[in-house]
Amino acid sequence: MDDAAPVRGRDKEVEMTSAKRKMTRWMVPAGVLLMVGLFAVADTAWGQPADGPGLRRGRMGRRAGPLGGPLLPLGRLGLTQAQQEQVQAVMEQNRQATRTAEERVREVRQALQDAVTADSVNEGAIRAVATELGLAEGDAAVQRAYVHAAVWQLLTPEQQAAAREAKAEMQQRSAQRRQRVDERRQRRQERRQRG
Secondary structure class of 49 (helix, strand, coil) = strand
CATH number of 4-156: 1.20.120.1490
Alpha helices (runs of H) in the chain, residue ranges in sequence order? 4-46, 81-116, 123-152, 157-194
| pLDDT tier for residue 2 given thresholds of 50, 70 and 90 | low
Report pLDDT digits (tens) over 124-152.
Answer: 999 999 999 999 999 999 999 999 999 99
Mean per-residue pLDDT over the chain, rounded: 77
Query: Which of the residue ranges 56-60, 79-83, 99-103, 160-164 has the most confident prediction, judged by mean pLDDT?
Result: 99-103
**Nearest C-alpha neighbor of 73 from the set 85, 63, 81:** 63
Secondary structure class of 110 (helix, strand, coil) = helix
Q: What is the mean pLDDT of residues 36-54?
A: 43
What is the per-residue pLDDT for 63?
Answer: 42
Burial of 58 (0-12, 13-18, 19+ CB in 10 A): middle
Report pLDDT digits (tens) over 89-131.
Answer: 999 999 999 999 999 999 999 999 999 999 999 999 999 999 9
- Name 63's bridge partners: 57
pTM of the entire predicted model: 0.56
| DSSP notation for 117-159 | TSSS--HHHHHHHHHHHHHHHHHHHHHHHHHHHHHHTTS-HHH
Report which of residues 103 and 44 the model is more confident about. Answer: 103
Rounded Cα distance between 36 and 17, Å, is 28
